[in-house]
Structure 1
């Protein structure tokens, strides 16, 4: 596996964010954002998809989002204004001095990437993984599911819809107070706003993943949307190398 470098970037309210980098310095820049309760390591590095993209010629920048991974998890509510993850993303891209780059995310990372474009970011190509049309506009329902898992943490039994979220939070050692604040900072993206996402966009999703709606519907709603199906459900799709291969094929097309 390629060497992993890490650096610290200051996000909103001086929150320290850790950005993990792989690939030759001369490679094409690609920023990848992980999903909720996950990390750059689990989403992109652990199962080999980052290496696939490095081998395809990319220099990959993978932040741990605030309240995740090795990044700080402040407990001050003022550190979680509306769209704080977008503000962090803008700070990361500015600090890295990226001008011509590609951008992608999985689940919460997809929400953040899409809203980043709506806030003025202009990647050459965009990847929205693990995301469907109804997912972008239905954050209130998804957020309520995770807030419930946080509030009942430790008492949720197997068979309960929130059990998987509880188990993943335990595995990832999530700071639940910070995560609850973060959940309240994420905004919906209305279907009418998608017309402003004009760059070629790949909607790649596991065949058994409809946690955030149908990815094909999202691709159809975008001005230049493309759809790719890979194996897995919302939890497992990032463990299959087909995810990385579909991303590399799209970015190199």
Structure 2
């Protein structure tokens, strides 16, 4: 995979298609491939005329995996995303994030508004502000000697997911410590780009999408029917809503 440098780390990315760039930022314990390629997102975006760029966040996929908890604040990971745009010579992009990736996208839209044309927050509602209540259980689950003794349902889910993707569980535990830092309500109100907040109907991890969309000027909410946090990622209705939103806010034939 091609890579670039950010904050002393070597991070991996891939780019597909032409057209206006959509930077895709994956969720916790996932990767660009697992979150965006395997789920059909890259195919859907390129078919709609966009350039899909997937990033492996620090601690994930083919990117460097520091064990220092200080390395994983969302503000820091948002700077990685901007560094990728710099590396590719891209002035402005649409940003699509899922779960932790949506939190990173939110900090990016706040910190580097001039680089973000519009944003899609998938799998992230009011817990952008309220934080993640299961975080310590997930960390304990990642560090547990084996899956067998784990009873906490979310911890079990992420442990199974991490094992399935061959992730570095110690890097993920460090990431979970700080990447879930909530965004200040006042900062959320100051996000000044069009935003689609899309959350599964049965998603208990994200928090509701509607109140978050109400806080952001020019945001709208979409409920992904009958999906929980894990199963909403590649949902066809989510893809259709995202591409419709991009089409309204960012025509595929527009130029950066």
TM-score (norm 1): 0.89
* C-alpha spacing 1:57/1:71, structure 2 compared with 1 (3 Å): same
Distance 1:207 1:90 in 2: 31
Tell me the residue number matched to 1:8. 3
**Alignment equivalent of 2:205, drawn from 190, 202, 211:** 211
Q: CA RMSD in A?
A: 1.9
Q: How does 1:58-73 map to 2 (within 5 A)?
A: 58-73=50-65
> Mind listing any 5+ residue stretches in structure 1 that lack a counterpart?
1-5
**Alignment equivalent of 1:246, drawn from 237, 241, 252:** 241
Q: How does 1:46-85 map to 2 (within 5 A)?
A: 46-75=38-67, 79-80=71-72, 83-85=75-77
> Mind listing any 5+ residue stretches in structure 2 that lack a counterpart?
249-256
**Alignment equivalent of 1:234, drawn from 229, 232, 244:** 229
- Matching of residue 171 in structure 1 with residue 155 in structure 2: no
Distance 2:14 2:94 in 1: 16
Q: How does 1:38-187 map to 2 (within 5 A)?
A: 38-75=30-67, 79-80=71-72, 83-122=75-114, 123-133=116-126, 135-139=127-131, 141-157=133-149, 159-161=151-153, 162-186=155-179, 187=181
Preserved CA contact (<8 Å) 1:130 1:206: yes
Preserved CA contact (<8 Å) 2:198 2:209: yes
Distance 1:53 1:82 in 2: 25
Superimposed CA distance per residue, residues 154-210 of structure 1 (whole angstroms, 9 cap, x where no aligned partner): 144465322111111111112122122222332210222112111110001222113
* C-alpha spacing 1:59/1:153, structure 2 compared with 1 (3 Å): farther
* C-alpha spacing 1:204/1:80, structure 2 compared with 1 (3 Å): closer
Count of paired positions: 244
Distance 1:119 1:54 in 2: 28
Superimposed CA distance per residue, residues 81-103 of structure 1 (whole angstroms, 9 cap, x where no aligned partner): 67321221121121112113211
Distance 1:22 1:71 in 2: 19
Preserved CA contact (<8 Å) 1:31 1:60: yes
Distance 1:108 1:156 in 2: 26
- Matching of residue 190 in structure 1 with residue 184 in structure 2: yes
SS of structure 2 residue aligned to 1:166: helix
Shift of 1:53: 1.1
Tell me the residue number matched to 2:193. 199
Tell me the residue number matched to 2:251. none
Distance 1:202 1:251 in 2: 9
Distance 1:78 1:223 in 2: 31
Superimposed CA distance per residue, residues 66-91 of structure 1 (whole angstroms, 9 cap, x where no aligned partner): 11111121335664567321221121
Distance 1:82 1:106 in 2: 13
